[in-house]
Structure 1
Amino acid sequence: MNAMPKYVASRTLRDPGWANTTVLNADLTAEIRRIKAASEEETVVLGSGGLLGTLMEAGLVDEYRLLVFPLILGRGKRLFTDGMGPRDLTLTATEPTPSGVLINTYRCRAEG
C-alpha cells in the first residue's frame, strides 16, 4: 500500500507524512475529475461519508460497493441523503460471505 498513489481530502492537512500521498485541499471536484482523467486505475473512497456525498452530488461516482449486514440497527447515518437526485444503477455482482454479509456492486449508468 505504501507504493500506491493516495489522495487525502483535507482543509487543514499540509504534509500527510505518508509516501506517495497527495493532499487535495483546493477545488476538490476539479481535482477528482483531473485524477480520474489521468488514470485508468480505480479510485476508492474509504471512511468518509462527507467526501462521498460531495462526489455523488458532482456525479463523480462510477460504482458503489454496498455491503448488507444481517443486522438491523434501526438507525444510523444515511449514505443517500434527502435532497439527492435519483441515480440509475445496474447490479453487476453479488457476493455472499461466510458470515452472511452480501457485497453488492452497482455501476452507475451513463447520464444523457
Structure 2
Amino acid sequence: MATPESEPLTSRRALREHFTVPPGIRESLPKRGVADVVVHETADPEVIVAEFAYEFTLPDDSRSKVPCVFVMRVRDGQIIESRDYIDPIRTYTARGDLDRLLASLRKGVS
C-alpha cells in the first residue's frame, strides 16, 4: 500500500528520519493527530494489531480521517517488527498532496 518511491523503514534511524519534519516545512504541513485507537491482542503474546485513524487538519481547517492498521511484534517493551497498512490515496488526499502521489505514480509508467 506504499507509493512507488517508498522504501521499507528497517532501522530506528530510518524511522526517526521518516517522522522528523524540518522546522521550516512543519508549518506548511497539515496537522496530524491520532484518533479511534483500538488494540487487539493475538494468540502470540508478542503480536498486537492496532487499529486507529490519522486525523488531518488542513490550513483551511477542513478535517479528514484516514484509517490505519499496524501489526506489531513487541519484545522487551520494544517494537521489533511492524507492518503498517494505510491507504496512500486517502492519505495524500487528506494531506492536500494528491498531485505528489500522481507524479510518483506517473514515474513508474513507461
Same fold (TM over 0.5): no
Higher RCO (CA-CA < 8 Å; seq separation 6+): 2
Larger % of strand: which? 2
State the TM-score, normalized to the length of structure 2: 0.29
- In the superposition, the TM-score normalised over structure 1's length comes to 0.29
Higher helix share: 2
